[in-house]
Amino acid sequence: MKPIIMQNQDMISPEFAKFFGFKIAFATRKLQGRKPLMEKVRDTATALIDSTVRVIARDGLDKASIRTISSDCQIPNPYIYQHFKDKDDLFVSSFSREDSILASEFLSVFSSVHDAIKDTETRCRLIWLRLWNYMMEHQESIQFYVRYYYSTYYEQCSKAEHQERFLPLAEAIRGCFEADANVQVLLQYILDNMMNMAMKVYSGELSDNDETRTHCFTLTLASIAPYLKKKEHRDAI
């Protein structure tokens, strides 16, 4: 039987046109509601990294597994391997994201304060306080960061990239220190010191109050003070 070919639009019944138009409109709305494939891929990868940060912050690296991460974000195991080669790749990618965020935050805070305040101690105090407040507001991220940072993962997989990410900040603060100062070591010391103190606050060993903040800042400043430019040069910093 040959198919019926309607060559004249007038031959289409109103009922058929209405039904056909409804189907097209329904299909169009359905397609418009779908996210593009690449956006869905990014969303899934982000959810997996968010869960990795959360699980490691809560349980530590040793207890973090594909199963616990899958359970946390409600994404089946097979989908994880579509985005990351294995657990190690997921861990390293998670640190890369958090490290990039932290490096950007440090640089942003330094840049916003450096030119606005000339007094060295006041400037250092304000920079330190803003970074401290950031750590207090992002406890989960910092807990993850510290657990990863003091693991073999960092030394074997992330150290070189971390140093490269923080290089722009090291270059930005170089003018605050004497020419022979190892700025990258000093920067790392400041980061280590602040995070270790923040972890003590998270655990309840210290309280986040004015006394703690003053004590922590004073210790940090006293440690780096010998390397700061001498007083006669500070106005030019």
Tokens of 167: 């290089």
Closest by Cα among 136, 140, 143, 149 to 212: 136
Tokens linked to 180: 């022979």
pLDDT at res. 37: 46
pLDDT at position 91: 98
**Which has more pLDDT, 18 or 224?**
224
pLDDT at 149 over 90: yes
DSSP-based helix, strand, coil % in the chain, nearest 5 = 75, 0, 20
C-alpha 3/C-alpha 105 separation (Å) is 67
Least confident of 89-103, 114-128, 210-224: 114-128
From CA 199, how far away is CA 142, in angstroms rounded? 8
Gyration radius of the chain's alpha carbons: 27
Least confident of 24-38, 83-97, 129-143: 24-38
d(CA 152, CA 170): 24
Give residues with Cβ within 8 angstroms of 60, minimum separation 6: 147
**Token pair recorded at residue 149:** 């940072």
End-to-end CA distance of the chain: 90
CB of 75 within 8 A of CB of 47?
A: yes
Position 148 pLDDT exceeds 90 = yes
Report residue 200's pLDDT band, with 50, 70 and 90 as the boundaries.
very high
**What number is the average pLDDT over the span 33-56?**
78
Weakest mean pLDDT among 8-22, 77-91, 146-160: 8-22
Neighbours of 22 (CB within 10 A): 10
How sure is the predictor about 13, in pLDDT bands with cuts at 50, 70 and 90? low
C-alpha to C-alpha distance for 9 and 203, rounded to whole angstroms: 76
Q: List the domains of the chain with CATH numbers.
A: 97-234 (1.10.357.10)
Tens digit of each residue's pLDDT (9 = 90 or more) over 163-196: 999 999 999 999 889 999 999 999 999 999 999 9
Q: How far is CA 188 from CA 44, 135, 162, in A?
A: 33, 16, 11
| Tokens (6 digits) for 185 | 């070591």
pLDDT in tens, 106-116: 999 998 887 77
217: tokens are 């800042």
